[in-house]
Structure 1
Amino acid sequence: MPHSPAPDPHPGPAPSPDPGPSPASVRTRVRVPLRFGDGYGVDAELITFHGLTDGQEHLAVVLGDPAPGAVPLVRLHSECLTGDVFGSARCDCGPQLREAVERIADRGGVLLYLRQEGRGIGLYNKLDAYALQDQGLDTYEANAALDLPEDARDYTAAAQMLGALGIGELDLLSNNPDKAEQLRTLGATVRERVPTGVFTTAHNVRYLRAKVLQTRHTLPLAQLVDRTAG
C-alpha cells in the first residue's frame, strides 16, 4: 500500500496575507481660488498624489480650517462632466458639488474629486445609457442593458488619498451607504454619514428615485414625485 508523503521537515514560509494597496504619497500642493457661477468663492488647496492604485488623476480639495482635534468633513465626489461643468439637469451632481464645497469650507475638511465618470463606466457609456433612459429604462437598467455594472466605483484610491493626508477618522458627506461601507472595509473610521441636500428637477427625479430604490440612497422618497408621470 503506498505510503503518505512525510511532512516536509523544512517547510517554506507561510504565504503572507494580502497587504492591500501600497500607501500613496502627496505629489503637489497648490493654492487655487475657487469661484462659482452664483458668486460664491473660497480659496482651496488642491493636492495631487503618487501611487494611487488605479492610476487615475484623482484630486483632493482641502477647504476651511478645522478646529484642533475636530473630525473633518469629507466628500467623495465622482466626476460628472455633464453635471459639474455643463450644468446638466439630468442628475444632481453639479448642485451637490457646489453645496459640498461650501459646507466643507465652513467646517473644515476635504473633497476628493474622483475621476469616476458615470459611476465608473466612462463618459461615452454614460451617454449611451442616457439614450436608453430616454426609452424608459432607469439608470441601473440602462447600465445592465449595456452589459455594464450598475456601479463600477471602487474607493481604494480614495482611502489611499485619505491616508496620505493623515485622515483616519471622518464624517462622510454622502447619501450613498456604499461609500461609507467601502471606506470602513478599507480601514477608515467613518464616524457619521451626513446627508447632502435634495436637488430635484423635472429631468432628474426618476434618476433620484432609482437611487433610493436600487442602492439605498438616503433621500426622502416621498418628495421625489415623478413629475413626468400622468
Structure 2
Amino acid sequence: MTENIGVLGKKSPQRTGVERMVNAPLPTVYGKFQAFGYLDHDRGEEQVALVHGDPGAENVLTRLHSECLTGDAFGSQHCECGDQLSSALRAVVVAGGGVVVYLRGHEGRGIGLLGKLRAMALQAEGLDTVEANLALGLPVDARDYGVAAEILRDLGVRSVRLLSNNPRKREALVRHDIRVTEQVPLLIPPCESNITYLRTKRERLDHHLPHLDTVAHWS
C-alpha cells in the first residue's frame, strides 16, 4: 500500500485493494485519535480507521464498526449501534490504545440505507430483522471484512482483542489472517424499542447477548 499523506488523489485503474490516502489528527469528545483514511479501489468506497495512542501489533483492542446512519448519527433506538460506537471509542481511550475501523458500505448489514429502511418498515408490521431482509429478497448479512483486515495489516496490527458480540466477525478476521486472541463483549442496556431486534440477533444470528435475560418482562 502506498501512503499519500494529505492528498486524496485519483483512482488508478491499475490499482486494486485498499490504499492509505491520508492521516490526520482527530480530537473527539472521547479523546484524541489519528484518523487514517483509505480508498478501497475495488469497491470505490472511502474507509476510515481511528487510532488512539500507540496500540502496538499484538492484542490490540479493536472494534470493527459497521456504518449505521440511523444509529450513529440520528440516535435511533431501533438498534444499539450508536451506543456501541460511543462505548468502543471510550474503551480504546481507557485502554490507552486501540483501533476503531468504521466500515462504510455496511449499512443495514450490507443491504444499504434504503434497503434497511424498507426492512425497518416491515419490522414495524411484525417481521423480525431476518424475515424482513428475506421478504425483500435481500441477504440476511452481506458484509465482508476483507477491507477491515487489510486496514489492520496496514496499521501493523497482527492480533486483536475484538470488541464485538458477533462470532461471525471473529471468524471473518481469522479467515483473513488476523488473529483474535479475545472477544470482548460490547453489551449495551436494551430498551423497549430494540429488545425484539436484539433478541433476534441472539436467537437467529448467534450474537452473544446474555444481558437480555434480565429484561424478560418486555414483550
TM-score tier by shorter-chain length is 0.7 to 0.9
Q: Which amino acid aligns with 2:108?
A: G
Shift of 1:70: 5.4
Q: Which amino acid aligns with 1:94?
A: G
* Higher normalized helix content (fraction of residues): 2
Q: Do the aligned partners of residues 60 and 213 (structure 1) sit closer, same or farther apart at CA in structure 2, a change above 3 Å counting?
A: same
Pairing partner for 1:98 from 76, 82, 86: 86
Q: 2:185 corresponds to which residue?
A: 195
Shift of 1:207: 0.3
Q: Which amino acid aligns with 2:144?
A: D
Normalization by structure 1: what TM-score? Answer: 0.83
Q: Which amino acid aligns with 2:64?
A: L
Contact (CA 8 Å) 2:50, 2:99: kept in 1 or not? yes
Shift of 1:91: 0.4
Q: Aligned Cα RMSD in Å?
A: 1.8
Distance 2:193 2:40 in 1: 39
Q: Do the aligned partners of residues 203 and 120 (structure 1) sit closer, same or farther apart at CA in structure 2, a change above 3 Å counting?
A: same
Distance 2:118 2:197 in 1: 15
> In terms of Rg, which structure is larger?
1
Q: Report sequence identity in percent.
A: 45
Contact (CA 8 Å) 1:184, 1:190: kept in 2 or not? yes
Distance 2:163 2:199 in 1: 19
Contact (CA 8 Å) 2:57, 2:156: kept in 1 or not? no
Pairing partner for 2:62 from 62, 74, 80: 74
Distance 1:126 1:226 in 2: 28
In structure 1, the residue corresponding to 2:108 is in which secondary structure?
coil
Pairing partner for 1:62 from 37, 51, 59: 51
Shift of 1:72: 1.1
- 1:14-39 alpha-carbon deviations (Å, 9 max, x no partner): xxxxxxx966342100001112xxxx
Long gaps (5+) in structure 1: 1-20, 36-40
- 1:82-103 alpha-carbon deviations (Å, 9 max, x no partner): 1111101110001101100010
Normalization by structure 2: what TM-score? Answer: 0.87
Q: 1:13 corresponds to which residue?
A: none
Contact (CA 8 Å) 2:64, 2:100: kept in 1 or not? yes
Long gaps (5+) in structure 2: 1-14
Q: Which amino acid aligns with 1:223?
A: T
Shift of 1:173: 0.4
Q: Do the aligned partners of residues 52 and 104 (structure 1) sit closer, same or farther apart at CA in structure 2, a change above 3 Å counting?
A: farther
1:136 aligned onto 2:126: yes
State the number of aligned residues.
202
Q: Which moved more, 1:168-177 or 1:25-34?
A: 25-34
